[in-house]
């Protein structure tokens, strides 16, 4: 069977999976290429090379991100069924050719991927650089974005301003978007990768990719930041963006009813191109607000205007929300944001410190990131307080000063980092197995998965080396630990229940 036949059979099977329509379109346009056996490297000593590896080239970066984070495992399973062997899949965006490259006729996808000197297949982009000329692509180049038409900007012209266009102009001028909340300033990690990719897609093609986009997650995890980032991009392309909290929406309705200005209220909300609504959970149970929001939603949706909604929980968990609204919230894409891991927290702190032109040694960044684990707003707060504390005491920034500054806040009196044994114990307790069994040699699935989770969490939450983690778990070597961590890292992106279990364990750890 050649790769084209394999992919056609896989596509036929994918038809009956829960993959969304947009991803299916990407997959229809994707191209599968085999990686030669001798280029496959396995870092799992327990798992000898016995499967096949493929590269799946997909139309663009977003497709690559979404397919890798949400569907890679499913695709590997489907391919495994088609060819009867385990499959490892690498998803990559395809490259668009330069104009002169289009003259070459060999389809890009028909060329075997080339290996880098260390045997790892090169990314198509690297191949393009390492070898000239690059062959013809199988994707049509995307058309240049068209310049906005006159009519789209008509509202900005002083001669044509009617009430509605005045509203739009007003929105452009007073959109209440925080200038700091941009995509550039948003740090992406496993905990927010999908929400970020979806937000970017919506910002690039409002009303076309995911409508509505529903983002949810705990306090201070970046929902508002992403809403504003979408808004900024919309404003830059001349669209009318309206950002409201559900509280503000409710107040406006109450006032509209009181002063009989419902018509104006409706005209305002129906003239936007992108409506961003924060904390939607607060409209639940408020009858006239829900009613008005329902009609606003329908009007915008019918006109293919983009709606982005944020909440602290998924639509299903917003009790007392009308069913017709709940089902509409589920029409598009729902993306969650989880608490960031240690690495992401450190990256966020580093960026925030740089923005403040504040030189903070790595060990202090790691210390703060170890103390504040769930709320990025609090993380930023710690940095600001540390700065203030240091200025006040006119002292040098040392670990002792950092400790004093943070403990004086009384926010967190825990030890700065959890120790590995403590984490292993919490995981063992969570899965009702003994610590000895988890650290031993047993290979039953009910032991292996918790063991891999424990290794993953220890690596995420402490600075314990792979070697030390291996020693804790019955003398396993570092490559086994690395393989386990990578496996969990990939699985949590596609397996909601594992993700929830790990969040619950993290919460338990924080209570320890």
Ligand X SMILES: Nc1ncnc2c1ncn2[C@@H]1O[C@H](COP(=O)(O)OP(=O)(O)OP(=O)(O)O)[C@@H](O)[C@H]1O
* Residues at the site binding ligand X, with contacts judged by CB under 6 A: 181, 185-187, 192, 217, 219-225, 312, 348, 376-377, 380
Distance CA 181, CA 420 (A): 36
Closer residue to ligand X in complex, CB, 371/483:
371
Report the SS3 class of residue 474: coil
Closer residue to ligand X in complex, CB, 153/183:
183
List the structure tokens of 498.
Answer: 């594992």
DSSP bridge pairs for 35? 53
Closer residue to ligand X in complex, CB, 185/284:
185
* C-alpha torsion 17→21→22→23, nearest 10: 10
Report the SS3 class of residue 184: coil
Residue 250 assigned to a binding site: no
Q: Closest approach of Cβ 319 to ligand X, in Å?
A: 18
Residue 223 assigned to a binding site: yes
* The dihedral sign for the CA sequence 486, 490, 495, 497: positive
Closer residue to ligand X in complex, CB, 169/347:
347
Q: Closest approach of Cβ 158 to ligand X, in Å?
A: 36
Angle of CA points 352, 353, 358, to nearest 5°: 150
CB atoms within 10 A of CB 387: 16
Q: Closest approach of Cβ 173 to ligand X, in Å?
A: 23
Closer residue to ligand X in complex, CB, 91/188:
188
Closer residue to ligand X in complex, CB, 115/347:
347
- Which residue minimizes CB distance to ligand X? 222
Q: Closest approach of Cβ 219 to ligand X, in Å?
A: 4
Strands 31-35 and 52-58: antiparallel
Distance CA 363, CA 402 (A): 10
Closer residue to ligand X in complex, CB, 375/471:
375
Q: Closest approach of Cβ 392 to ligand X, in Å?
A: 23
> How many residues comprise the chain?
512
Q: Closest approach of Cβ 122 to ligand X, in Å?
A: 30
Closer residue to ligand X in complex, CB, 71/329:
329
HSE-CB at 407 with a 13 A cutoff on CA atoms is 10
Q: Closest approach of Cβ 433 to ligand X, in Å?
A: 34
List the structure tokens of 32.
Answer: 């599968």
Closer residue to ligand X in complex, CB, 192/493:
192
Q: Which of 244, 236, 256, 239 is nearest to 168 (CA)?
A: 239
Question: How big, in percent rounded to 5, are the helix, strand and coil portions of the chain?
Answer: 55, 10, 35
Q: Which of 44, 31, 46 is nearest to 95 (CA)?
A: 31
Distance CA 56, CA 51 (A): 16
Q: Closest approach of Cβ 67 to ligand X, in Å?
A: 22
- DSSP code, position 354: H
Q: Closest approach of Cβ 363 to ligand X, in Å?
A: 21
Closer residue to ligand X in complex, CB, 219/388:
219
Distance, C-alpha 383 to centroid of its chain: 24
* C-alpha torsion 346→348→351→353, nearest 10: -70
Q: Which of 95, 87, 66, 63 is nearest to 9 (CA)?
A: 87
At residue 290, what are phi and psi to the nearest 5 degrees?
A: -60, -40
* CA distances for 401 relative to 352, 353, 360, 386, angstroms: 19, 16, 12, 8
R_g of the chain, CA atoms, integer Å? 26
Closer residue to ligand X in complex, CB, 196/451:
196
Residue 220 assigned to a binding site: yes
Distance CA 161, CA 453 (A): 60
List the structure tokens of 325.
Answer: 């609204």
Question: In 339-434, which residue ranges form alpha helices assigned H by DSSP?
Answer: 342-355, 362-371, 376-393, 399-409, 420-430
Residue 475 assigned to a binding site: no
Distance CA 266, CA 244 (A): 14
Q: Closest approach of Cβ 192 to ligand X, in Å?
A: 5
Q: Closest approach of Cβ 337 to ligand X, in Å?
A: 7
Annotated binding site for ATP: which residue ranges?
220, 222-224
Annotated binding site: which residue ranges?
220, 222-224
């Amino acid at each position: 069977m050649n790769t084209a036949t394999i992919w056609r059979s896989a596509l036929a099977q994918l038809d009956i999976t829960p993959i969304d329509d947009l991803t299916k379109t990407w997959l229809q346009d994707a191209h599968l290429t085999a990686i030669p056996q001798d280029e496959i490297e396995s870092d799992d000593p327990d798992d000898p090379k016995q499967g096949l590896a493929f590269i799946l080239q997909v139309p663009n970066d977003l497709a690559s991100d979404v397919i890798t984070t949400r569907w890679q495992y499913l695709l590997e399973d489907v391919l495994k069924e088609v060819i009867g062997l385990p499959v490892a899949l690498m998803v990559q965006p395809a490259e668009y050719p330069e104009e002169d490259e289009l003259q070459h006729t060999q389809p890009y996808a028909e060329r075997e991927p080339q290996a880098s000197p260390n045997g790892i297949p090169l990314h198509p982009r690297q191949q393009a650089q390492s070898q000239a000329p690059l062959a013809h692509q199988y994707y049509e180049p995307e058309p240049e974005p068209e310049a906005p038409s006159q009519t789209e900007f008509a509202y900005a012209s002083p001669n044509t301003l009617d009430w509605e266009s005045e509203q739009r102009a007003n929105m452009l001028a007073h959109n209440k978007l925080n200038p700091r909340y941009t995509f550039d300033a948003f740090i992406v990690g496993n905990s927010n990768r999908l929400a970020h990719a979806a937000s970017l897609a919506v910002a690039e093609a409002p009303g076309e990719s995911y409508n509505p986009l529903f983002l949810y997650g705990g306090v201070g995890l970046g929902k508002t930041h992403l809403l504003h980032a979408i808004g900024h991009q919309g404003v830059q392309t001349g669209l009318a963006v309206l950002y409201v909290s559900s509280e503000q929406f409710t107040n406006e309705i109450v006032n509209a009813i009181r002063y009989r200005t419902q018509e104006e209220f409706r005209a305002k909300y129906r003239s936007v191109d992108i409506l961003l609504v924060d904390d939607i959970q607060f409209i639940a149970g408020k009858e006239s607000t829900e009613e008005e929001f329902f009609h606003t939603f329908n009007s915008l949706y019918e006109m293919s205007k983009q709606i982005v909604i944020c909440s602290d929980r998924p639509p299903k968990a917003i009790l007392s929300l009308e069913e017709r609204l709940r089902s509409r919230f589920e029409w598009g894409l729902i993306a969650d944001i989880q608490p960031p891991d240690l690495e992401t927290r450190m990256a966020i702190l580093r960026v925030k410190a740089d923005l403040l032109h504040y030189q903070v040694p790595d060990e202090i960044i790691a210390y703060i990131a170890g103390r504040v684990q769930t709320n990025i707003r609090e993380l930023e707060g710690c940095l600001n307080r540390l700065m203030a504390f240091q200025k006040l005491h006119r002292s040098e920034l040392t670990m002792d000063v950092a400790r004093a500054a943070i403990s004086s806040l009384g926010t967190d009196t825990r030890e700065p980092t959890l120790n590995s044994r403590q984490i292993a114990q919490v995981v063992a307790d969570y899965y009702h197995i003994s610590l000895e069994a988890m650290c031993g040699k047993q290979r039953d699935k009910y032991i292996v998965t918790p063991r891999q989770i424990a290794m993953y969490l220890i690596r995420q939450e402490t600075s314990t080396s792979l070697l030390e983690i291996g020693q804790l778990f019955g003398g396993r070597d570092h490559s086994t630990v690395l393989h386990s961590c990578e496996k969990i890292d990939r699985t949590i992106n596609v397996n909601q229940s594992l993700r929830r279990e790990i969040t619950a364990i993290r919460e338990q750890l924080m209570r320890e």
